[in-house]
């Protein structure tokens, strides 16, 4: 095992600053002369705004300015765009009503941005925000997704609150297959709405510099270049070369920090208005609950057709997806292209059809949250397969095995557009069964029963499409951007290396893994490699981090840049050693003349490149290469998670007693970091299944607006996780990697709900709260007694 290259569990170099309190998050940054923004937010879900009286607030101590949507409108500030056009089943683009950073005439969810107060201190801004008088004319809210089509209309552009009615797959083939079916399993499912809750609340500082007519924005962003592009090209009409976005240490994202939000937009705009005074805003947690983009929120009916032996013939799925009050940056794509395309799962189901209707409701915007569409797809498939096994009285593991896509079928064209390049599902299942001790489950169940407890086991054989994404493919599906990644690898004259990546680390440990990668590729000691990310002023370009893409796409860009370095290094080495370029081999940091013992270290080559006194003709000085990598396909991580639970029928408590995760992420760079990603993902998936749920009441008030009402998973909700791996290397990127960031969150909800419903012998929806579990456990005991 190498000690710092590919495959080594190198301890993270970023940790030192975090464990000593020297991290630098946006709220830790203070700019000279900075002012503070506080937003006036809608207290009701749907209303016309008849007037906003800012006079009292303007007079309050310390207040510098109060702005409303009218001020932004007068300055030509645009709408926050949605970057993905979904074409509905009639060939029409989705309905795209405007999303103004500060409302114009109407509020559409509790927390909507009505005005901003800017003052010398935060306390003054908050106090004055209370003094802004808004005259509202109440309108009916639209809260219930199932009824969203019948409610009051939120946007003139969207009759029936319908954003799109979209489908994927061959409906005729599916209908024909259902006619042939020996058995059909049907299931209704709710995929509960979640609030991402990265522990660092969103924050922004907008700073305009009068002298240079340029802007610096400090933002808690997962993708600083993308934020810059959106703000410049669509919202604020700024020249991109005059705007620098810095996303320093960011305390978790999980999707919620991908998007361009109202707050950073307004702070940036206001700083110019106020002659270059920096304007800072940091969310209070209650603001995060109200206005971070939420996740999931589907209502689904699914049917699975099988032959008499349990072979899957067809799957049909009908989903209503909640998009919230406005379309967040990638909202439209999540319940369509990131969801329905995954409905084949790991199975060779010949026909799949999915219909999705996306609705506007008077709730916070909904967008990608860890997994984004793929957890919803896995939940549908893995729940219905489990229920089918129960219907057919078959072993759930064996029913899955029977339907797996076989190794010789790859590359495998699914009936829902994707082509899986590689996978090997059976060994992964076998390993998981072995690890959990499946053969002895019946015995463990009997032991639990003897203690008055109900034991259950649940499987989830998930698949995801990661390494997002081949630009031409997503472009043909409506994406407004390319999803390549860039890297710049720069040797310094003394032989150390600075690497600039467009990926952004907000917990993933890129500073460590990317340095491992470069060390392996260039043979430079790990300690002499520095990774720079999160600053558009330093990094050539970038698309950021989400969709488990950093290594598969960003890492591949680094490999390409390293290859260019080696190519150029060979020319310099050939010159110095008076050999032909074709005879130069590169290995472990040494350029060697093949078949001789002549060699030059890469450090000497770098020095020569910057002090080119004895140098090949026609070669530019310097050793600094940039590469862009556009993936050829998605990657397809897959695996099997098995959860074992024990339910206490007296209290309704569900105890997770064992958890096994076996994942195939392709090649693994740093197993310690990969396992950490799996743990964190499982915890979020368990949170969804057991504890978390965003609830709006009938009037559209967010009932779960703080940690007192929204139950976050705590340490004592879990057992130890047992993680195993199998490896089938991705065939189309230079590293053979697939991505690991979302797997746990994708796999876990179905595994846990399958285990709980197995224990209860009854169907329930997420979250499996104590009360629900207790009711069904009691009913089961009662039925058994009768």
Binding site for other proteins (CB under 8 A): 11-12, 14-25, 27-28, 123, 197-201, 249-252, 254, 284-286, 506-509, 672-673, 675-676, 679-684, 706-708, 712-716, 718, 720-721, 744
Tell me 285's DSSP state. Answer: H
Helices 743-760 and 671-686, axial angle in degrees (round to 10): 50
**CA torsion, ordered 528, 534, 540, 543, to nearest 10 deg:** 120
703 interacts with ligand FES by CB under 6 A: no
Task: Please say which residue, 194 or 499, places its beta carbon nearer to other proteins.
Answer: 194
Least distance (Å) from other proteins to the CB of residue 449?
23
Least distance (Å) from ligand FES to the CB of residue 692?
15
Q: Is 529 helix (H, G, I), strand (E, B) or coil?
A: strand
Least distance (Å) from ligand FES to the CB of residue 707?
8
Beta strands in 464-589 (DSSP E): 485-491, 497-501, 529-532, 584-587
Task: Please say which residue, 252 or 622, places its beta carbon nearer to ligand FES.
Answer: 252
**Cβ of 643: how many Cβ atoms within 10 Å?**
32
Residues 232-251 that bind ligand FES (CB under 6 A): 251
Please list the residues that pair with 117 across neighbouring strands: 38, 66
CA–CA distance, 728 with 140 (Å, rounded to integer): 53
Task: Please say which residue, 673 or 768, places its beta carbon nearer to ligand FES.
Answer: 673
16 interacts with ligand FES by CB under 6 A: no
Residues 475-514 that bind ligand FES (CB under 6 A): 507
Please list the residues that pair with 137 across neighbouring strands: 48
User: At 210, phi and psi to the nearest 5?
Assistant: -65, -45
Task: Please say which residue, 75 or 709, places its beta carbon nearer to ligand FES.
Answer: 709
Tokens, residue 363: 């709730």
Please list the residues that pair with 342 across neighbouring strands: none
Give every CB contact of residue 130 below 8 A, 6+ residues apart in sequence: none
Residues 426-485 that bind ligand FES (CB under 6 A): none
Size of the site for ligand FES (CB under 6 A): 4
Q: Is 737 helix (H, G, I), strand (E, B) or coil?
A: strand
Least distance (Å) from ligand FES to the CB of residue 199?
4
Task: Please say which residue, 252 or 616, places its beta carbon nearer to ligand FES.
Answer: 252
Q: Which does 123 bind (CB under 5 to 8 A by kind): ligand FES, other proteins, none?
A: other proteins
Q: Which does 715 bind (CB under 5 to 8 A by kind): other proteins, ligand FES, none?
A: other proteins
CA–CA distance, 542 with 485 (Å, rounded to integer): 6
CA–CA distance, 93 with 96 (Å, rounded to integer): 8
Least distance (Å) from other proteins to the CB of residue 330?
21
252 interacts with ligand FES by CB under 6 A: yes
Task: Please say which residue, 197 or 428, places its beta carbon nearer to other proteins.
Answer: 197
Q: Which does 610 bind (CB under 5 to 8 A by kind): other proteins, ligand FES, none?
A: none
713 interacts with ligand FES by CB under 6 A: no
Helix/strand number for the chain, H first, E second: 19, 28
Least distance (Å) from ligand FES to the CB of residue 252?
5
Residues 193-232 that bind ligand FES (CB under 6 A): 199
Least distance (Å) from ligand FES to the CB of residue 496?
29
Task: Please say which residue, 535 or 692, places its beta carbon nearer to other proteins.
Answer: 692
User: At 312, phi and psi to the nearest 5?
Assistant: -75, 130
Evaluate the CA torsion angle 731, 733, 736, 739 in order and state its sign: negative
Find how far residue 460's CA is from the centre of its chain.
20
Least distance (Å) from ligand FES to the CB of residue 507?
5
Q: Which does 1 bind (CB under 5 to 8 A by kind): ligand FES, other proteins, none?
A: none
Task: Please say which residue, 252 or 713, places its beta carbon nearer to ligand FES.
Answer: 252
Single out the residue of 564, 587, 588, 594 nearest to residue 489, CA to CA.
Answer: 564
What residues make contact with ligand FES under the rule CB under 6 A? 199, 251-252, 507
């Amino acid at each position: 095992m190498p000690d710092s290259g590919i495959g080594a569990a190198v301890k993270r170099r970023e940790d030192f600053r975090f464990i000593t309190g020297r991290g630098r998050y946006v709220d830790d940054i203070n700019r000279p002369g900075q002012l503070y923004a506080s937003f006036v937010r809608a207290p009701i879900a749907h209303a016309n705004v008849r007037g906003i009286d800012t006079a009292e607030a303007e007079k309050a101590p310390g207040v510098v300015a109060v702005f409303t949507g009218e001020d932004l409108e007068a300055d030509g500030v645009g709408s926050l765009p949605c970057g993905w056009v979904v074409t509905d089943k009639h060939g029409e683009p989705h309905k795209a009503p405007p999303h103004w950073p500060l409302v114009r005439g109407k509020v559409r969810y509790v927390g909507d941005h009505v005005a901003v107060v800017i003052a010398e201190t935060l306390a003054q801004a908050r106090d004055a925000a209370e003094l802004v008088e808004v005259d509202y004319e109440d309108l009916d809210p639209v809260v219930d997704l199932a009824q969203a089509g019948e409610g009051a209309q939120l946007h003139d552009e969207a009759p029936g609150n319908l954003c799109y009615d979209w489908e994927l797959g061959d409906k005729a083939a599916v209908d024909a297959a259902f006619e042939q079916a020996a058995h059909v399993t049907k299931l209704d499912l709710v995929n509960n709405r979640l609030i991402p809750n990265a522990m660092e609340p969103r924050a922004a500082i907008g700073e305009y510099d009068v002298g240079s007519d340029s802007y610096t924005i400090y933002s808690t962003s997962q993708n600083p270049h993308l934020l810059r592009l959106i703000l410049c090209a669509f919202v604020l009409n700024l020249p991109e070369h005059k705007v620098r976005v810095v996303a320093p240490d960011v305390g978790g994202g999980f999707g919620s920090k991908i998007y361009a939000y109202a707050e950073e937009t307004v702070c940036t705009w206001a700083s110019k208005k106020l002659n270059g005074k920096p304007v800072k805003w940091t969310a209070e947690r209650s603001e995060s609950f109200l206005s971070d983009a939420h996740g999931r929120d589907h209502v689904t009916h699914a049917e699975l057709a099988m032959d008499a032996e349990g072979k899957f013939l067809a799957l049909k799925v009908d989903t209503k997806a909640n998009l919230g009050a406005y379309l967040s940056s990638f909202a439209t794509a999540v319940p369509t292209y990131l969801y329905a395309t995954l409905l084949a799962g790991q199975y060779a189901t010949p026909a799949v059809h999915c219909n999705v209707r996306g609705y506007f409701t008077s709730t916070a915007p909904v967008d990608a949250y860890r997994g984004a569409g793929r957890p919803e797809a896995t939940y549908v498939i893995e729940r219905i397969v489990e229920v089918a096994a129960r219907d057919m009285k078959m072993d759930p593991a064996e029913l899955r095995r029977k339907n797996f896509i076989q190794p010789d079928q790859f590359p495998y064209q699914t009936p829902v557009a994707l082509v899986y390049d590689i996978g090997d599902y059976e060994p992964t299942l076998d390993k998981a069964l072995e690890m959990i001790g499946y053969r002895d489950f019946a015995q463990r169940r009997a032991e639990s029963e003897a203690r008055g407890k109900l034991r259950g086991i649940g499987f989830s054989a998930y698949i995801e499409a990661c390494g997002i994404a081949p630009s031409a493919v997503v472009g043909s599906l409506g994406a407004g951007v390319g999803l390549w990644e860039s890297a710049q690898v720069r040797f310094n004259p003394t032989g150390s290396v600075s690497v600039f990546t467009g990926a952004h680390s907000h917990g993933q440990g890129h500073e460590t893994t990317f340095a491992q990668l470069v060390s392996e590729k260039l043979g430079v000691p790990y300690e002499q490699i520095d990774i720079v990310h999160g600053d558009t002023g330093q990094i050539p370009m970038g698309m950021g981090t989400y969709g488990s893409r950093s290594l598969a796409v960003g890492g591949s860009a680094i490999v390409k840049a390293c290859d260019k370095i080696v190519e150029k290094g060979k020319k310099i080495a050939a010159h110095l050693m008076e050999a032909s370029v074709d005879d130069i081999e590169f290995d472990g940091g040494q350029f060697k003349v093949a078949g001789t013992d002549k060699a030059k270290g890469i450090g000497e080559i770098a020095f020569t490149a910057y002090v080119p006194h004895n140098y090949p003709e026609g070669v530019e000085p310097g050793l600094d290469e940039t590469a862009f990598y556009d993936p050829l396909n998605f990657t397809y991580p897959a695996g099997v998670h098995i959860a074992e639970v024990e339910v206490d029928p007296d209290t309704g408590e569900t105890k997770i007693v064992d958890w096994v995760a076996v994942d195939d992420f392709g090649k693994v760079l740093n197993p310690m970091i990969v396992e950490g990603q799996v743990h964190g993902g499982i915890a979020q998936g368990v949170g969804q299944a057991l504890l978390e749920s965003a609830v709006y009441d009938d009037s559209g008030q967010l009932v779960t607006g703080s940690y007192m009402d929204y139950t976050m998973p705590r340490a004592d909700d879990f057992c130890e996780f047992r993680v195993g791996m199998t490896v089938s290397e991705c065939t189309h990127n230079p590293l053979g990697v697939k991505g690991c960031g979302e797997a746990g969150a994708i796999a876990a909800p179905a595994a846990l709900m399958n285990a709980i419903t197995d224990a209860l012998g009854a169907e329930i929806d997420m979250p499996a709260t104590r009360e629900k579990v207790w009711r069904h456990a009691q009913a089961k005991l009662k039925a058994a007694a009768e």
